C-alpha cells in the first residue's frame, strides 16, 4: 500500500456548529507536497466543503497561514516531509475570530493597518512640485527600511503574539513594523502623523518583548526589533518635544 499521512483539521460551520470539531483525513503521502497541496487534495477528492484561504502558492500573498501543530506557518511553504510519518494538526490562526473552518476574520488587522497610513506621505509639497518625477533614493537610504518592506501581511505574527492574545486593542507586530518601514523611508514625511497612533496607549508600549513574532515571520521582517526601535524613536521625540515646548 502507498505511504499515507494523517491530517486532523479543525472544522467550524457557524450555521451548524456551536464549537470547533476535529476531523481527520488519511491521504496519500507525497514527499514534495506542501500542506496546502494536501488541503487541495482533500478539497478536490474527499470533502469539497473544507474552507481555507490561499492564492499565490509561493509565499507572497500571505493568505494561507494557519496553525500547524500549534505554530503559525504558511502552508504553501511548509512541506509534509517535515512531519511524516507523524500526524499533522491544522487549526485556524490563533487570536482571530473564525469565519469558517480554517478561515479567520482579518478586519481588526486591516483597520489597524489603515490607521498608521502605510503609504508615502508628502507633506510639504510645493505648488510647482513635479509629482510625475521620481524621488531618488540611494541604496543605503533604501537599506534603512528594506527588511520591513518584505512584510506580506500574513498575520502569523499576530497569531504568535501573547500581547495581542491578551489585549486585542494592541496595534500588533506587523502594523508597527510597517509603520517603521514608512517612517524610515527617506521619501516620507508622515512620521508625526503615525506617532499619534504608534505611541498611544495601544501602540508600541504594549509590547512585552517576547519576540515570538520574529520567530514565526516567514519573511524575516523582525517585527520585534522594529517595535523596540520605534519605542526608542518615540521616547526621543517625546523628550525633544518637551525641550522645545512642542506638544
Ligand atoms: S498561498 Fe500565498 S502565501 Fe501561501
- Give the separation between CA 158 and CA 171, rounded to whole angstroms: 10
Q: Which atom of ligand 1 is nearest to the CA of 55?
A: 1
C-alpha cell at 27: 491521504
Most informative mutation of 76, 153, 216, 219 for ligand 1 (most atoms within 8 A of CB): 76
State in Å: Cα 236 to ligand 1 middle: 38
- Using the CB atoms, write b or e for 207-237: b if 16+ within 10 Å: beeebbbbebbbbebbbbbbbbbbbebbeee
- Which of 38, 62, 156, 218 for a ligand 1 pocket mutation test, highest count of atoms within 8 Å of Cβ? 62
The boundaries of every CATH 3.10.20.30 domain in the chain are: 4-104
Task: State the closest ligand 1 atom to the C-alpha of 56, by its place in the atom list counted from 1.
Answer: 2
Contact (Cβ atoms closer than 8 angstroms) between residue 111 and residue 118: no
Task: Name all residues whose Cβ lies below 6 A of ligand 1.
Answer: 54-57, 59-64, 74, 76
> Which pLDDT score, from 0 to 100, does residue 126 have?
65
Assigned C-alpha cell, 225: 526589533
Model confidence pLDDT, tens digit, residues 89-117: 999 999 999 999 999 999 999 999 999 99
Going by pLDDT thresholds of 50, 70 and 90, the confidence category of residue 237 is: confident
- 3-state SS string over the chain? CCCEEEEEEEECCCCCCCCCEEEEEEEECCCCCEHHHHHHHHHHHHCCCCCCCCCCCCCCCCCCEEEECCEEEECCCCEHHHCCCCCEEEECCCCCCEEECCEECCHHHHHHHHHCCCCCCCCCCCCCCCCCCCCCCCHHHHHCCHHHHCCCCCCHHHHHCHHHHHCCCCCCHHHHHHHHHHHCCCCCCCHHHHHHHHCCCCCHHHCCCCCHHHHHCCCCCCHHHHHHHHHHHHHHHHHHHHHHCCC
CATH topology classification for 107-244: Fumarate Reductase Iron-sulfur Protein; Chain B, domain 2 (1.10.1060)
pLDDT above 80 (res 78) = yes
184: which 3 cell numbers?
524610515
DSSP type of residue 92: P
> 247 C-alpha to center of ligand 1: Å?
44
What's the CA-to-centroid distance between 178 and ligand 1, angstroms?
19
Mean pLDDT of the chain: 94
Query: What is the value of pTM for the model shown?
Result: 0.92
Q: What residues does CATH 1.10.1060.10 cover in the chain?
A: 107-244
Given a cut of 90, is residue 151 above it in pLDDT? yes
Query: Crossing angle of helices 223-244/191-198, nearest 10°?
Result: 110
pLDDT at 34 over 80: yes
- Which residue did the predictor score with more confidence, 60 or 135? 60
State in Å: Cα 144 to ligand 1 middle. Answer: 27
Q: Could you tell me the distance, in angstroms and rounded to a whole number, from the CA of residue 63 to the centre of ligand 1?
A: 5
For 113-133, what is the mean pLDDT? 81
| Architecture field, domain 4-104 | Roll (3.10)
Res. 134 pLDDT band, cuts 50 70 90: confident
Amino acid at each position: 500500500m502507498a505511504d499515507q499521512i494523517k491530517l486532523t483539521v479543525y472544522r467550524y460551520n457557524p450555521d451548524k456548529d456551536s464549537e470547533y470539531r476535529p476531523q481527520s483525513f488519511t491521504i496519500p503521502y507525497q514527499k514534495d507536497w506542501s500542506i496546502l497541496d494536501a488541503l487541495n487534495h482533500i478539497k478536490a477528492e474527499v470533502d469539497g466543503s473544507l474552507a481555507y484561504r490561499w492564492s499565490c502558492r509561493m509565499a507572497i500573498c500571505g493568505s494561507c497561514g494557519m496553525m500547524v501543530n500549534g505554530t503559525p506557518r504558511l502552508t504553501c511553504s511548509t512541506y509534509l516531509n517535515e512531519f511524516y510519518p507523524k500526524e499533522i494538526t491544522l487549526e485556524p490562526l490563533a487570536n482571530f475570530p473564525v469565519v469558517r473552518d480554517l478561515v479567520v476574520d482579518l478586519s481588526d488587522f486591516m483597520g489597524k493597518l489603515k490607521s498608521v497610513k502605510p503609504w508615502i506621505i508628502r507633506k510639504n509639497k510645493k505648488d510647482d512640485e513635479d509629482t510625475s518625477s521620481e524621488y531618488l533614493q540611494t541604496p543605503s537610504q533604501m537599506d534603512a527600511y528594506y527588511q520591513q518592506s518584505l512584510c506580506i501581511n500574513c498575520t502569523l505574527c499576530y497569531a504568535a503574539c501573547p500581547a495581542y492574545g491578551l489585549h486585542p486593542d494592541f496595534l500588533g507586530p506587523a502594523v508597527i513594523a510597517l509603520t517603521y518601514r514608512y517612517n524610515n523611508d527617506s521619501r516620507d514625511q508622515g512620521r508625526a502623523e503615525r506617532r499619534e497612533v504608534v505611541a498611544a496607549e495601544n501602540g508600541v508600549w504594549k509590547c512585552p518583548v517576547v519576540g515570538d513574532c520574529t520567530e514565526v515571520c516567514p519573511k524575516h521582517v523582525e517585527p520585534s526589533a522594529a517595535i523596540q526601535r520605534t519605542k526608542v524613536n518615540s521616547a526621543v521625540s517625546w523628550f525633544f518635544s518637551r525641550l522645545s515646548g512642542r506638544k
